[in-house]
Structure 1
């Protein structure tokens, strides 16, 4: 029974987790707007979501020995949860080598926050629907 509930909510749970990760990446870009040679980064949301859902289908990956690489793989090109980071294309170059365009970052930040809020509202409506079914539509 719980497995079916998990499956029912997994897509939105995964999407919200990725939205949260993306919000952190965008906030980091904004925070480093004046850092020389900082390169703006972002997440390809659709491919990251697809990859996360594919991993969830096969079950969680685990390491069996202390010398195994952490799963998901971590490094400079990934977030802590293994989501690959990509460099954002240069919109307007800067003399100090910084590629952060504050207009683009603010726009992406607001768009991502709005989509996160929509995801939360959608999960709330899913849970309310489930509760209604459980309670017999009272």
Structure 2
């Protein structure tokens, strides 16, 4: 019974982490709107979520692993089963003379959309936690 709950929360954790990563990328784009030759970046959220959850391979993603050191002379190591979502350059709708591909209207819309979806994810997760707490209290 606990395992399906953990899988459910793991999905929300990965989805919110990807939303946070995308928010940081979009904020960086907005901050560099006046930087010459800056190339706007973004991620494909649905593809990144499928990769993070293992849905694209049919195999669930393994958790990150770190080795336990039994001696001070051992080399610390960690194994990561997947990194952050791959950033891609955004193609501008209207090129600028200084080589900057940030379009503030597009960035603001994407930023607001991602913020709304992040908040919705938090509210859904909060509702799941409240319903589990209500079930436990009965």
Structure 1-normalised TM-score?
0.82
Name stretches of at least 5 consecutive residues in structure 1 with no aligned partner: 74-80
Q: Which has the larger radius of gyration?
A: 2
Runs of 4+ more than 6 Å apart: 67-70
Name stretches of at least 5 consecutive residues in structure 2 with no aligned partner: 68-73
CA contact (8 A) 1:71 1:82 kept: no
Measured at CA, do residues 123 and 84 of structure 1 come closer, stay the same or move farther in structure 2, by a change above 3 Å? Answer: same
Residue aligning to 1:132? 134
CA contact (8 A) 2:36 2:99 kept: yes
**Number of residue pairs the alignment of both structures matches:** 129
Residue aligning to 1:29? 29
Which piece of structure 1 moves more, 51-60 or 25-34? Answer: 51-60
Equivalent-residue separation in structure 2 for 1:70 and 1:10 (angstroms): 19
RMSD, matched Cα: 2.5
Superposed, which structure 2 residues align to 1:46-125 within 5 Å?
46-54=46-54, 57-62=60-65, 71=80, 81-125=83-127
